[in-house]
Amino acid sequence: MKTGQDAQNNSQQTSRRRFLLGAGGLGLAAMLPLSAQASLSAPVRKLRLHNLHTGEQVSADFWENGRYLKDGLSTLNHIMRDFRENEEFDIDPKLFDQLYLLQHRLGKPGEIQIISGYRSPTTNAMLRRKSRGVAKKSYHMKGQAIDLRLPNVELSQLRRAALDLKVGGVGYYPKSNFVHLDTGPVRSWA
């Protein structure tokens, strides 16, 4: 049986835990640029994607009221599929968050053009045989990467905005006209 002192200690521990969790959340938010903080607090996150290889275009809400939406993620996973193998994969939702933050940072909420999303091991191996720029253990095969461009946004501006987010990897491919974005460690290359 709990005594009055035990109940008071539990209440203090709970209050301390809530304070530490809240402080941790504030610390994480403080590390994000102001535009990213504002966009993370939006009640709904939506993306418009255009797969340049298939011609498909979708618009989907993927996050609402603090949770990811299964139907929205499914729609985005489909358009990000390996079109060569017609193989879908569960894309890391953090990648969609990064795309949303990137658009918000640029002030360009329109279409994102997909050059490459998910890649099956078969497709990745085929692309490696054709290009030295394809990683053997690509984040594309894990559903954690996209090669993209945004209409009416200079590629160098897109790269700079992605670097400024300081989340994941950013590759710059001006000769091929795309930027690579992934949810791996923070790093960059050109």
| Tens digits of residue pLDDT in 173-183 | 999 999 999 99
DSSP letter assigned to residue 87: B
Residues 12 and 47 reside in one and the same domain: no
Residues 176 and 106 reside in one and the same domain: yes
Residues 102 and 157 reside in one and the same domain: yes
Residues 146 and 159 reside in one and the same domain: yes
pLDDT, tens digit, 9 for 90 and up, residues 54-63:
999 999 999 9
Residues 19 and 76 reside in one and the same domain: no
pLDDT, tens digit, 9 for 90 and up, residues 104-151:
999 998 999 999 999 999 999 999 999 888 889 999 999 999 999 999
Positive or negative torsion for Cα 150, 147, 80, 35: negative
Indicate whether 169 pLDDT > 90. Answer: yes
Whole-number pLDDT of residue 26: 38
Whole-number pLDDT of residue 132: 82
Return the CATH number at 83. Answer: 3.30.1380.10
Paired residues of 149 in beta bridges: 113
Question: Distance (Å, rounded) from C-alpha 183 to C-alpha 88?
Answer: 18
Q: Which two tokens stand for residue 136?
A: 């053997």
Indicate whether 24 pLDDT > 70. Answer: no
> 70 is in which domain, residue-wise?
33-189
Residues 60 and 5 reside in one and the same domain: no
> Which residue would you say has higher pLDDT here, 18 or 155?
155
Residues 12 and 57 reside in one and the same domain: no
Task: Compute and round to an integer the Cα radius of gyration of the chain.
Answer: 20
Indicate whether 33 pLDDT > 70. Answer: no
Residues 105 and 174 reside in one and the same domain: yes
Residues 149 and 55 reside in one and the same domain: yes
Q: Where are any strands of DSSP class E within the chain?
A: 44-51, 57-64, 67-68, 111-116, 145-149, 169-173, 178-182, 187-189
- Total domains, the chain: 2
Nearest Cα residue to 50 out of 60, 41, 58: 58
Residues 145 and 174 reside in one and the same domain: yes
Name the residue type at position 28. Answer: L
Residues 97 and 120 reside in one and the same domain: yes
Q: Where are any strands of DSSP class E within 18-168?
A: 44-51, 57-64, 67-68, 111-116, 145-149
Indicate whether 49 pLDDT > 80. Answer: yes
Query: Mean of the pLDDT values across residues 24-49?
Result: 61
Nearest Cα residue to 47 out of 122, 101, 10, 86: 101
